[in-house]
Amino acid sequence: MVLEKVRELIAEKINCEPGSITEETKFADLGIDSLDVTELVMSIEDEFNIELEINESMVTVADLIKAVESKTAKG
C-alpha cells in the first residue's frame, strides 16, 4: 500500500505513469531535486499523517518507503 501511494504521489508531481517508478528508482533519475523531495515528503506526511526527517541518505524510492513504513508501524 505504501509503495502504491508513494508512486502515485511521485507520478503526480513529475507528470509520469506510476508504473514507471520502482523501488530502485533514484530521485535524481526522475529529475527530482532536493526541493522537490521536500515537497514530496510534505505531501506524504499529509497523506499518512506522520512526520518524516529528510536527509541526504534518502536517494531512492525505497529509502522513502522505508522511512514511511517505519513511522506508520509505530503509529
Which residues touch 33 (CB under 8 Å, ≥6 apart)? Answer: 27
Catalytic residue among 33, 36, 46, 63: 33
Cell 518507503 found at: 65
DSSP state of 58: -
Work out the widest C-alpha separation in the chain, in whole angstroms: 32
To the query of whether residue 36 is one of the catalytic residues in this protein, the response is no
**Positions marked active-site:** 33
